Structure 1
């Protein structure tokens, strides 16, 4: 009878996650709370511990991020990333993924990657490169920045779970950042060899014949030699997702990226400008640089205080009154809320404008999803420790790599790194798996790209007018599949090696 009850409870948990994914947005978190309600009122399970610390860390970080966005700080970061990407067109497949990773790491959100999609596509197209290579690799590696960022929502959840394990923020970053960088490079190396060149790609050539896109000027001579165009005429236009002024819109959604990704006809013939001489310019509002540096200073302080616990005030704990440094959860909350206020005061940002920012809305959705799913998971796990969690923990303990597989698959199914973290990491900790091993496998959350259910994937496909970046009728096989698998295997293997020495 007990086994039957556990199975029914598991059905409730899985059903709530599935229904939440179908609804999307805050629906994932709300269904998680409903699942908790059923477990408590129907099955009479004691409610688990709601992830209050993780919830408020996310709220603090997204408030600071939204203040930075309102003050133009995101525009400043995007302008820098855009210049770096466009300055290295020949090494685009290597540069773009690293830039996507670094800027996600710094900002704590992969939303910043939306604004880079048209820049990456435009740079590839103008220089006659297959856009899929850089676009797909960059989309995937942006997710690696989430598990390497001290101010991401997933890191907030992970820090709370790892509290007391002796594995603080610096040791986590010492594993995830080097492993992610190596994964970026290996993914780029493999991706550089994926797909046909544009002039050999039947999909691209068919689109050229249909008049949906033109052969870029960089390929004009080769195309003329093959008889694909007359007299070497080719488009010198950009085919990016930039707006009419040439500026990409940060935080644009998939439809915006597609709408702004139309090909525009520029000069033709022998007087066409070289493709590589045109650049997408991103306008930065006055004070945008200041806002960005205030935010990055706050991020640096978080890392510094995590690296040196002695810099934090210490307070007596327990019956013996032993002094313990202030935990990182309140530290992050205090610093990031202070960062938000500093940006408001220095840049004279109206508080009402912060509430309207896309980053705040996205972060709020992430916080609700984390809260609901984590609360439900903790309720189920705490009540079934002996029946299911201990045996499952023994299995993970016997075959540790199963944790990486579980993280990868659940992240793909829920499309939420934070919810996946709160669902599976407690099981790994209960199994007695070493914190270093768990941390090395944690970036398996890159499995969030398993299904094409994310805005970044859809935006990349819609922006790429050459047709090289694509989805297929098989949900798990698309342009992002190979770079995702390469990144996953590489980041876990390197992480397991790095954790041996940190």
Structure 2
């Protein structure tokens, strides 16, 4: 019976990931139906708190984008990159890391990819170098952002164990930053110089790309042109204000996460003092930030639901709804067997669980779904919370198979052809920086958690 149930789960992950979008969530729901109606498993509680936290954060981020705030951030990033083109392999991942850290989603990297591609070609730097590590940094920052779906999912699991948001961030932020820096260092001399690259020179000869030094502004490429179109609908002053209000919301989440004693509290009917939990703090603060942005900038509420960030975020909510509910039900229904099989292994070598998280993230294409689906198992078999925090960056494995949207976008934006998928699929531009950044972040995370937690 266990083998058949496991096969159902694996098939759901496979077909859900192939469908993409909300397909992962609804296929997870179908598998849940098979497990409950077909095998008689008792369904666990759906991950309502995680879903509501993600919805609140995504809504606030999408409102900022609609108000033009994302365009303000893009212009600032473009100026920084153009001033230091020779150091772009190190600056580009810093930009995408900060964007994701503040926005809570790696999809904001799309906005600066055209800038990275254009600046590198003009300056003669091989675009593959900064493009690849910039994408990896946008993924690593998910596990360092206080408002990302993955972080709030982990927080919801660890809060009952007495671990709060600062405990996660004081390990994950330095670990992922150093990991990305090492990845950038490795990529800084990777591959041939652009001027010597055969594919680039072939494209120059056929006229599909301009040579080094020449200015190019494609119809879709320039972040400046993209921002001009969108900010025409709102005042620049309002766009800047939306950024300020959004960042204040992020700081509010970090503040209440850092000082639990300052959260609202009350005495329940049984006389027990209750304190407002972090899930509710995230939901209230980010919804309030979104409301203030709408009121202050008069951005169109109707356009928020059609924005790219809102669409991607709501897909994540549905994906987590189905997959996490299915995973919880399967693990809880078979916990006795699973616990006996792997407890000794992960206790003796906790890094094996990090490997399991990495593999699961490849299948799910979602850090949050991986956290919600597998981290409860780690807690159940006795892995200490500090070790789980150290392993948190290992959920960034979806670069491994080059089918994630940010990976595909980076390949398409690099018109020189240096950022590519290799002949054997897995020998692509993102493999080396991804492995270096992830392994380094987890290794450094174990060191930091042992010292700080």
TM-score using structure 1 length: 0.86
Could you tell me how far 1:195 is from its partner in structure 2? Answer: 0.3
Question: Does 1:372 find its partner at 2:317?
Answer: no
Question: Does 1:165 find its partner at 2:161?
Answer: yes
Give the alignment partner of residue 52 of structure 1, picking from 36, 48, 54.
48
Preserved contact between residue 114 and residue 221 of structure 2 (Cα < 8 Å): no
CA shift digits 1:398-417 (9 cap, x unpaired): 21111111111111121111
Larger radius of gyration between Structure 1 and Structure 2: 1
Could you tell me how far 1:323 is from its partner in structure 2? Answer: 2.4
Q: Secondary structure of 2:6's partner?
A: helix
CA shift digits 1:417-471 (9 cap, x unpaired): 1111111101111121111111111111221111111111111111112111111
Preserved contact between residue 59 and residue 310 of structure 2 (Cα < 8 Å): yes
Output the CA distance in 1 between the equivalents of 2:223 and 2:445.
43
Question: Does 1:355 find its partner at 2:351?
Answer: no
CA shift digits 1:227-249 (9 cap, x unpaired): xxxxxxxxx22266755795246
- Residue 191 (structure 2) aligns with: 195
Residues 99-248 of structure 1 correspond to what in structure 2 (within 5 A)?
99-217=95-213, 236-238=214-216, 242-243=220-221, 246-248=224-226
Question: Does 1:331 find its partner at 2:281?
Answer: yes
Could you tell me how far 1:117 is from its partner in structure 2? Answer: 0.4
Unaligned residue ranges in structure 1 (runs of 5+): 218-235, 253-282
Output the CA distance in 1 between the equivalents of 2:332 and 2:235.
50
Give the alignment partner of residue 313 of structure 1, picking from 259, 264, 278.
264
Give the alignment partner of residue 355 of structure 2, picking from 384, 402, 405.
405
Preserved contact between residue 243 and residue 249 of structure 1 (Cα < 8 Å): no
Preserved contact between residue 104 and residue 142 of structure 1 (Cα < 8 Å): yes
Preserved contact between residue 119 and residue 248 of structure 1 (Cα < 8 Å): no
Q: Secondary structure of 2:112's partner?
A: helix
Output the CA distance in 2 between the equivalents of 1:465 and 1:315.
59
Could you tell me how far 1:352 is from its partner in structure 2? Answer: 1.3
Output the CA distance in 2 between the equivalents of 1:499 and 1:284.
45
Preserved contact between residue 114 and residue 222 of structure 2 (Cα < 8 Å): no
Output the CA distance in 2 between the equivalents of 1:187 and 1:360.
30
Q: Per the alignment, do residues 394 and 41 of structure 1 end up closer, same or farther by CA in structure 2, a change over 3 Å counting?
A: same
Give the alignment partner of residue 391 of structure 1, picking from 334, 341, 344.
341
- Residue 27 (structure 2) aligns with: 31
Could you tell me how far 1:354 is from its partner in structure 2? Answer: 1.5
Could you tell me how far 1:379 is from its partner in structure 2? Answer: 0.4
